Each structure stands twice: as C-alpha cells, then as structure tokens.
Structure 1
Amino acid sequence: MNEGAGSAVQDLSGKGNHGTITGATWADGRYGKSLRFDGGTSVVKVPSSASLKLSRAFTIEAWITAELSDTQGPIVVKDTSGRPAYGLTGPDREPGDSAYRAAGYVTTNATRKVASTHGFSPYTWQHLATTYDGQRLRVYINGVLEGERLVSGRMQTGNGALRIGGYLGRHFNGLIDEVRIFSTARTTAQIKLDMNHPIVAADQPPSQPTELTVSAQSANVQLNWTASTDDIGVRAYEIHRSTTPEFTPSAATWVGERDALAGTAFWDAGMPAGTHYYRVVALDTGSQPSTPSAAVAVEVTVPGDPPSAPGTLFAGGRLNSAELRWSRPTAEWGVAWYQVHRSTTRGFTPSPRTFIARNNPLVYSDYSLEAGTYYYRVIAVDYAGQAGPPSNEASARVPDQPPGVPSATVTGGPGKATLSWTAPADDDRVTGYEVYRSRQAGAEIGTASILIATVTGTSLVDTGLSAGRHHYRVRAIDSAGQPGELSPSASADVTECPPSDCLAAAYGMNEGTGDAVGDSSGKGNDGTATATAWADGKYGKALSFTTNAAFARVPHSDSLVMDDALTVEAWVYPTEITQTHPLVQKGENGTEEYVLHAAWANYGSPPEGPSGKVEPFYPGGRLVLSPTPLPAGTWSHVAFTFGGGTMKLFVNGVQVAEAGDGYMNAIRPGTNPLRFGQDPYYGSYFKGLIDEVRIYSTNLTAEQIQADMARPV
C-alpha cells in the first residue's frame, strides 16, 4: 500500500493481482503508506485469477487499525458465488458481543468460521492472520494463536473477485496495510517474521550459500551450509543433485526445498551407490534465486541389496481424496518407511518432484485432491537408507462416485431363496455385492438385517432357511471400496426346510487322533482341538475335556450365522457338574450369539440343569433353563431350539423347558468363532466327553431331535 496516490494498488508478489480502489483514501501506514476505509462504500477490488483460486490451503495476513464499528469488518475476502472461499475479518462481532475479535473463514462443503478467543484493541495497529491447512482453520492476533477448529476438505474456488475492505454490503472502518496472501498455511514463526518485515519489491537476489558440506551414512546423505542474506529476506533453499560435476541446477536436478526458518540442513535419503554432487540455491520472498553454491561431491556405499518392490499397489478415489494400500516387500535390512509418489501423468517415473509423503503403514490417504485422475507408485526404504524399485502404478479418479442401486428379485423354495439382481452403473467399475437378509421389510444395516454373503456375480442361492417370509436387500461395492445405496426390499416365501438342507455343521468326533475336528455337513466348518484327548464316544469316538485349558475352536463362517431359527444338539458325558459348563458356543471375549450349556450357575448359586441361550437384537441374552442337573458319569442328549421368538430345551428327546416372549425375531449376527467346552472370558469350562454335535439353521421338532439321537453323524 505504498503507492500513496492514485486509484491502483500494486501486487508486489509478481503474480499480477493488482487492485482498483473505490472510495478509500491514502494515509500513513504501519510501514510507509496505507489505505483508509470509511466503513460505508470504500473497497479495493482485485479480479479473480488462477493464483487466487486456492483449493488446499491459505494464509491471509494484514496490519489494521480498526475504528468504531458495530458490525463485521471485512479485511480480505475471496468470493465464491456469494460465500467467502477464504477470508479474514476484524472486528467480527456477534450480537451482544462487545469484543473486537478477529475471524477466519473458509468454504469447503460448507462455510466455516473460527473467531479469536480474545478481542484486539481498536485505534492501534494490530496484526491479524488466518490460516487453513486442509485440517484446521486458525486465527492469530499479533503472531499469537487465538483460535482454531477442525475443518477438512478441498476449498471451493469460484470466479468471484478478491475484495479488501468490503464484502456483501459490509465495510471495514479504519486503516489496512501490508496485506499478504499465501497458498500455504504459514507457521506461527513465519507469521511473526512477516509482521516485522514490510512488503517491498525484490531488488537484489540473495547471497550465495557457502560452506556446503556433504556426508554419507550408508544410503543417507546429510547436507549443511551457511545461511544466505537478502534485502527482503530469504524464504527457502533449493537442493539440487546430479552425477555430473559442476552441473547447472535445473528442474531436472531439483531434489527438495528447505524452509529458511527450518534451518540450513537437509537429509537426502535412499541414495544409490556411487558419486553424487550437490548444490544449494537460496530463494528470497520474491522467489528470486541466488547464485548456486559450489558443487560438493559425496561417495555413497551401501551394505547390501535394497528392498524389493512393494506388493501390488491398489488405489481408489473418494470425493476429495484417494486411498492407497499395498503389501510388504522383502528387505534384508528391514523396511523403515515408504516413499509415496503421485503424478497426473500415466507411466510416470518417481522423482523428488512426484514425492508426496513418507509413510510407514501399508496404507495411505491422500487428502484435499481436486477433481481428476491421479497415478501412484510406492518405494520401500530400508533401515540402511536404501531405496528399492517402485511398485506397480495404480490410478484413482477423484471424485469417484459410489455405484448405483441394484434392482433385486427373489424366489422362495423349500428352505431356500434364489436371488438375482441387475448390475448398476458406476463411474469406474463394480467389483462386488453385499447381500443382506431380514424378517423385516426395508430393514437397514445394523438393525434387524444381517450380511449373509459378499459375491462378485449378480445371483445367489440362500440355503438353510426357516419357513416364512424373508426380505433381501443388495448393495454394490466399487473398485474404490465405496458402497452404494441398498436396493429396495425383495421378498420371498420360504417353505419348510428339510433338516438335511438346514444342517450348518456336524461333528461326529471320529478322528480318534490328532487335533483336527472335521465337519461332516459339507459346509467346511472344520475346527482344531487344543489340550483335548480322544476317547470312546456315544457312537465311535468322542472328544475328551479333562483340564481347564481344553477346548476346540472353529473359525467363523457365514453358514454358522443364524437368523430367526436354530437347533443345537450334542451327546455329552459330564464327569462333574460344579459350575456353568459350556458345550457349544458361538461367541468369544464376552460376546455370544448362541450357546448350549451342560449346566448353568447364576453368580455363585448351585448349578442347575442344561440351558440354551441366544442374543437377540435388543440388549441382553435370553435363556431357556432346565432346573434339573444332568447326571454325571452317564451319556445324555441335550438340545435347544429357537424359532418364532420361542426357545425350547430338550433332554434325551423330551422337552423340559420353554422360554420366550414371541418378539425375539432374530439372533444378533456376529463374526465370533465356534467353541467347544470352554469360555475363558467368563472362566467357564466343561469336564467330560462331547460327541455327535449338530447345528441347524431351523428349529427341529421333538420327533426330528429323537431321530438324530438314534443315528450317528
């Protein structure tokens, strides 16, 4: 603001963002001259330009003297369709607030504001600033952070003008000087540096960096140099590298940039073996380069082979971001971290200019991306600093819209439903479908609806169903892992399921040796026994549990997830009845879906008889319990069923108990394993023999249970 006369305000950044004055007058400023705004009509208007369309981050700074004002004082605001793409105001006063507060604005998916905790003094020079880094919006008064809030996302740009001193009918009353706008979020130290340096046009370039020293430790190179000086201040240092002595720094030799406030040292990691030459160039606040430093050579030796390329890299787009994942490579010296590279050019070669992040996990989220297609590659760096070859190239389109909605049809049959659905459109491609089942039409995920399958095709046969009406919904998943909306409900009436079709798991325990427990149902629900033994059983062999450490475990599978009907049976030979004794339990770590007990004891009370338990959708498990304990030292057949909201318990084929309110319409689904003979979470164990375990996805009748009693698995 040092023109002092006329109707133009010159941009000294070199970007050509000059402004036109309307109604403001010249006055003495914080440094040199400033502009006085009358609080009524005065404003400086700067036409929109590419350099003012900031999308990822910004900083606005200004020296002001605010005079009497009852409303908001716009200092600098960039417009986007009648909203502030980014802005700095002061005072910013809510109704009933007498403090002169500073405030920052940004518009991402909505307009957000952060106001200072404390007010500033009017009628004196105050330095106000606001920054946004893609994660937080901050506001500063005189170089002190006075407020911040979480805000994320890409900024809306728009073609609206930049205005100083007035916006949307509101006008600043007072003096404005030393306005700076950056496309990055300045640090507190940088803001304080700006406070104490007036804006001037660059005159002389920075002095040459001197005393450059370079040393290597394995594949890592350390650089140090003496700081340059400049008439308007040194902003940063460019680091250049080549394999040619006395090379000329260029875009091809650039390897990095060091902020001047961060010091005069640089770490160049992951260098290959050989001789490398380095030069340093200083940049002033006007981006004028200095004469390059003298070239210094360093010899890099490596201790062995570098890592291999990371395993297959996958990338998927989101609204404003891309998600990457890959698998671990082999590395003689171990993997210390990964270089993540991004380009907008297909088939690019990773270089310092494509490097965007240093990452340790095998996943990375690239945020605040504008719309477009991005290409990624990942390089592993070992603990010796050696960089391996790059991964495959993976692409992501931003924004990537979720897939459309399938249209499903379903036909019922004996114990099964046959589904098919249409393939919806997607801006990339659909890679799979999730199929949900419920007894309630239109049930949402997480309520009374369970995920029964994830498939890549457009059809499914759902078997092992109980009789009645079943409702299905399908949603598509795209290549980025984004789910679409659930399809409308499709319903089918299923008739009675033959027990052989509804058998989810069957264990005859006839292996007799080893630790494998085989499933004879054909569903593949095989298990592994630990600390058990084999003994003569009710039919053939049985699994023997003699210590608290004995159990058998079957991994979770979809066929073991029950909906609104269930039967669990077993022949058991308890050697003691002293506490709660679990026989068959779908559950672990305090979460249970369904359990069959040989005995049940409630909080230190004497043990009662066998019991069955299910966990419905509303809180608290439901129990059916026999008051008569099983006899020890003899074989007994125990079973419990669930269907129609009612649980029934059978001992030796005879119903001995019934419980339920008729409203338990489904069992809460889970991903727990199936366990035999032990629940370590509650300290419950079974001692004795277990044989002939059957699990059905329907509720058998007493006659069907009696038939199972008389025949081995």
Structure 2
Amino acid sequence: MNAPNPGTPPAVTVEPQPTVAPTNGTAVLTVTATGNNLTYQWRKNGVNLPNGGHISGATTSTLAISSFADTDVGIYSVAVFNSAGSVISKNASVRISKYNIQDALVGYWKLDETSGTLAVNAVSGGLAGNVTGTAAWMAGQIANAFSFDGATFMIVSNYTKATKGIAASAWVNVTAGTASDVIVIQNAQPILTGSSPRIAGQFQLGLVVDLNTGNLLPMAAIGIGPNVARITGTAPFPAGSWHHLAFSADGAQLRLYVDGQQVAVTDYLGDIVLPDIPYLSIGAALNLSDPNNPTSPLVPDGTDPAFMNGPLDDVAVWTRAITASEVSAIYAAGQQHNALTTVVETPALTPIPITVARGANSIALSWGAGFKLQSTGNLTPPIQWADVPNAPSSFTANTTTGTQFYRLISTP
C-alpha cells in the first residue's frame, strides 16, 4: 500500500515584522503561512519559547509577550510545521522603545550656522563637525544648510559608538549631473570592507553610481563582526532638489529609506562592529595620506573620495535602530520645514491576544498573560465590574443563564 500524500510543505507568506513595545507593555508578533494542519514554535535568539508566565501563543501564529522587559529584547523567529515539512521565518527584532525620537541620538548636526567652519552638534556633549575646505552656508530644507562644493568635507573627531543597533538620517540636495559616488556621513576609512587588510568601521550612508546607467542610487552599509551588510536602492536618487535619506539596522535587518519609504532591505545577524577609527566624515570618504603610515594625516581618498556636491541639512546619527514610523515622521516633519526633534511619538495600542470558541450552550474565551477578566450584568452607569474568579487565562461562559458582559484589563 502507498503512504498517503502528506500534501504541500508550509510556506511563510507574511513574515514577522520588527516590533517595539514600552517597558511593561505588550509586544505582539504574527506570522502567516500556507499549508494544511500547521503547527508553530516561536523562538528567541534561536531557542524555543515555552508558554507560561508573561508569554502566550508560543505554539500559535501569534506570539504575545506582556510585561515586556529588557530580558525579552532579542531576535525572534517562528518555525512552522506540518506532515510534509517545515519552514523557519525570517528573523524579527523585538525591543523596548522610549517613544522619544531623541533617545540614543548621539549626533545631530542641524547645519543652521550662517558663517564659520564649525557645525555645532545639538546633542549635549556631542562633538562639532570641523570644516576642511570652503565653508558655505545657505538656506536649507530646515532653516539653514551647508553647501558642499565637491572638494570640501567635515570631520567629527569622535562620537558615541553603536553596539546593537544604529541609524542615520539626512536631508540631501545633490547637484544634478553628479556622476561619482557620494558620502553623506560615515564611520569608515575609506569604505567598509570585509577583506584583508581591513580597517573596521561602523556604517556608511550615501549614493553610488550605477555603472550601467550612470544613475546615482541610495546606499547604506554597516560593519557586523568580520563582515559587511550593504544595500542599494534600485530607483535613482532624485538630484537637484531636497530629499530625505536614512538607514536603520536593528540586529536582524538593514533597511534603507528615501523620502520616508523603504527602498531596500537585507537580512543580517550580529552586533555592530567596534571600529578601528574614532571619527565621522561628512561629505567625503577619507583615508590616510600615506596608508602605510598610521600617523599620517587624513585626506580625501585618492581612489574614490566620494565628495558631496550640493547642500546637506539636518544630519543625525543614533546608536539604536529607528522604526519605519519614526523615519516617516522625520520625513513628514522636514516636509513642513521642521527639525526632527519636533517629532512626537506615542506608543501604539496593542491588541489583546484573545480567542473565542462558540459551543452549543457556551462561549470559551482564552487570552494571553498580563490581563484579568471582569464581568457585569448591566452596562447602565455606574457600571459595577467584578473580577471573575479562577480565570487567569481562560473562561467558559454559559449562554443559557442570561446576558453577561465581560472585559479584559491589563494587570501590572
């Protein structure tokens, strides 16, 4: 006799998405998969998660983590099984958010000066950018901007280094007709590379020339351990007008944004590398004047200096990932000529993970940890809600005994 056909192996059609939650809030991850008779197992940092305590749904398509704390921060994924096979989702970063755009903002060069060779860092204790070349200030997207002439650059001698996540953002107005690579801001010397000999750097944000078309494409890269994750957008970056450019790396994905919209993403896994160089360069890629002499001065790289030609405005670096909604909000603020520090964030409302099963004479409710069930027989004010006893995560209501109302409320 032939064995029965097990059918089609599972396939993930909607991946878990990066998620943030406030301290003591609830983080929810979901996955959508196709296939018959699916079972699920959520994992944190590659280790299977059990149900219990503040974790529920570990073996369903929706994982809920209530009372979210630092110990819950990590990289999550889910394995999906059926009799025909299994599949593991992409990783998703889950972390705590303070819902403050200035959280972990370590560098913010507003470039609002009108003269001089110093670009003040608006972050308390942050170092200024020092201009080498011709200082030219002009009207920008947000108040003033610094205009680069294709031979001038800035150096920030040091900055607070990232470890787990990193992001950067800038308003860019590259001169039309620019036909060479452009560095907006980077910690690299002169570029990030995983080859040897290697000078480890943390990130790059800029534009690269498509050798086939001559178009400028948006680009971002990060150093992760001995490797480099790099992404390039496929659509040309608009020249001759102001546009917003940003990237974010959260430990699972590196994402690139233009004008508030994601234009490229790549998976990676690892921490941001500890760099061999302390400085940031803005408007050019720098190298030692004598690469064989570590004490020689920094100058634009002789092979590909990647000079910026045109103005930059509102340049920022974070030592954390910024969310897609934060990038969108920064772009929207800038469109109204407002600085990124005007962005106001509030935690999103988290849906309560609850399931309802109807029986012949009953309704069975089950829900995730961190909530308690209350009931009342009358919704006429003042409503008298009472805790339902012996119902920590589930309850079956008899539908033959009259009308009763229920609600779930979060518990500390």
- TM-score, length of structure 1 as denominator length: 0.30
1:636 corresponding residue in structure 2: 243
Matched with 2:171 is 571
Alignment partners' CA distance in 2, 1:545 and 1:524: 22
Looking at structure 2, the residues matched to 678 and 618 of structure 1 have their Cα atoms a distance apart, in angstroms, of 24
**Do 2:166 and 2:320's aligned partners in 1 also have CA atoms closer than 8 Å?**
yes
Match of residue 73, structure 2, among 444, 468, 474: 468
- Residue of 228, 231, 249 corresponding to 1:624: 231
Alignment pair present for 1:650 and 2:257: yes
Q: 1:467 to 1:683 in 2, by over 3 A?
A: farther
Superposed CA deviations along residues 65-107 of structure 1, whole A, max 9, x for unmatched, are xxxxxxxxxxxxxxxxxxxxxxxxxxxxxxxxxxxxxxxxxxx
Contact 2:203–2:220 (8 Å) recurs in 1: yes
Output the CA distance in 1 between the equivalents of 2:236 and 2:211. 17
Match of 1:334 in 2: none
Matched, 1:553 2:155: yes
Q: Does 1:517 align with 2:124?
A: no
Displacement after TM superposition at 1:499 (Å): 2.9
Q: CA offsets per residue over residues 539-573 of structure 1, 9 Å max, x none?
A: 1110101132x00110113x1x1112111000010
Q: Distance in 1 between matches of 2:213 and 2:250?
A: 29
Distance 1:506 1:705 in 2: 15
The 3-state SS of whatever aligns with 1:506 is strand
Shift in Å, 1:529: 1.2
Structure 1 residues without counterparts, runs of 5 or longer:
1-412, 415-438, 440-464, 471-492
Q: How does 1:215-614 map to 2 (within 5 A)?
A: 468=73, 495-497=96-98, 498-531=100-133, 532-548=135-151, 550-557=152-159, 559=160, 561-576=161-176, 577-590=178-191, 591=199, 592-597=201-206, 599-601=207-209, 606-614=214-222
Residue type matched to 1:533 in 2?
A
Does 1:712 pair with 2:339? Answer: yes
Identical-pair percentage? 21
Q: Given the superposition, is the C-alpha separation of residues 658 and 589 from structure 1 closer, same or farther in structure 2, using an over 3 Å criterion?
A: closer
What is the Cα deviation at residue 624 of structure 1? 1.2
For 1:97, the equivalent position in structure 2 comes to none
Distance 2:71 2:126 in 1: 21
CA distance change for structure 1 residues 466 and 601 in 2, over 3 Å: closer, same or farther? farther
Amino acid at match of 1:537: G
Task: Identify the residue that residue 698 of structure 1 maps to in structure 2.
Answer: 320
Q: How big is the shift at 1:687?
A: 0.3
In the alignment, which residue of structure 1 is the partner of 2:28?
none
Looking at structure 1, the residues matched to 238 and 106 of structure 2 have their Cα atoms a distance apart, in angstroms, of 29
Separation in structure 2 between the aligned mates of residue 639 and residue 610 of structure 1, nearest angstrom: 9
Unpaired runs of at least 5, structure 2: 1-21, 24-44, 46-69, 76-93, 192-198, 286-299, 341-412
Asked if the contact 1:648/1:659 (under 8 Å) is kept, the reply is yes
1:685 counterpart residue number: 307
Deviations 1:612-661 (A, max 9, x none): 11111123x2211111121211110010110133111111101111112x
* 1:669 Cα deviation from its structure 2 partner: 3.0
CA distance in 2, matches of 1:699, 1:588: 23
Q: 1:507 to 1:466 in 2, by over 3 A?
A: farther
Calculate the TM-score normalised by the size of structure 2: 0.50
Q: Per-residue CA shift, 1:371-408, capped at 9, x if unaligned?
A: xxxxxxxxxxxxxxxxxxxxxxxxxxxxxxxxxxxxxx
Question: Secondary structure of 2:173's partner?
Answer: strand
1:466–1:496 CA contact under 8 A, matched in 2: no
- How many residues matched? 225
Q: How far 1:665 moved relative to its partner?
A: 3.4
Whether the 8 Å CA contact 1:641–1:700 is kept in 2: the answer is yes
Q: CA deviation at 1:603?
A: 7.0
* 1:589 positional shift: 4.4
- Mapping 1:665-676, distance limit 5 Å: 665-676=271-282
RMSD across aligned positions (CA):
2.9
CA distance in 1, matches of 2:72, 2:307: 35
The letter for the 2-side match of 1:584 is I
CA distance 1:523–1:708, shift in 2 (3 Å): farther
Tell me if structure 2 keeps the 8 A contact 1:608–1:626. Answer: no
Q: State the 1:508 CA deviation.
A: 0.9
**CA spacing shift, 1:636–1:494, aligned 2, 3 Å:** closer
Partner amino acid, structure 1, of 2:187: K
> Equivalents in 1 of 2:167, 2:317: separation in Å?
6
Would you say the 8 A contact 1:543–1:690 is kept in 2? Answer: yes
CA distance in 2 between partners of 1:674 and 1:696 (Å): 13
Could you report, residue by residue, the CA deviation over 1:654-690 in whole angstroms, capped at 9, with x for unpaired residues? 1111112x32333343333111111122321110000
Change (3 A) 1:593 1:608: same
Name the CA shift for 1:600/1:547 in 2 (closer, same or farther; >3 Å): closer
Q: Compare CA radii of gyration and give the structure with the larger one.
A: 1
Give how far 1:604 is off: 8.4
The question of whether the paired residues in 1 share the 8 Å contact of 2:210 and 2:217 is answered with no
Secondary structure at 1:538's aligned position in 2?
coil
